[in-house]
């Protein structure tokens, strides 16, 4: 099985986040991070390489990992999303 990986980089302008993720569904990561941080989806830039199909291991898990990483990255930079 492929490993799960995600990198979240907070931007100081307009409360934006850049996400680099190995996933089958970039829109899900974008939605999950936006709802977790309480910011609009258009502020989340999701970069990914298409992962192959198969058993769905790259569908939901990366979205949860991206949300956790986004909260940690957001808290470490002092950017307020409220």
In a domain, 81, yes or no: no
Instruction: Measure the CA–CA gap between 50 and 68, rounded to whole angstroms.
Output: 22
pLDDT above 90 for 2? no
* pLDDT tens digit sequence for 16-68: 899 998 888 889 999 999 999 999 999 999 998 766 666 666 777 888 889 99
Alpha helices in the chain (DSSP H): 26-37, 61-77
Domain housing 53: 6-76
Which CATH number is 25's domain given?
3.30.365.10
pTM of the model: 0.80
Sequence-distant (≥ 6) Cβ neighbours of residue 38 within 8 angstroms? 81, 82
In a domain, 11, yes or no: yes
pLDDT score at 48:
84
What pairing do the DSSP bridges indicate for beta strands 17-23 and 44-50?
A: parallel
Domain count, the chain: 1
pLDDT score at 4:
81
* Mean local confidence (pLDDT), 71-79: 76
């Amino acid at each position: 099985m492929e490993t799960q990986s995600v990198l979240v980089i907070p931007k100081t302008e307009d409360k934006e986040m850049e996400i680099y993720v190995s996933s089958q569904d970039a829109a899900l990561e974008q939605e999950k991070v936006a709802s977790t941080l309480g910011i609009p989806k258009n502020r989340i830039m999701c970069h990914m390489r298409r992962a192959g199909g198969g058993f769905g291991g790259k569908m939901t898990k990366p979205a949860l990992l991206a949300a956790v990483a986004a909260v940690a990255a957001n808290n470490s930079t002092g950017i307020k999303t409220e």
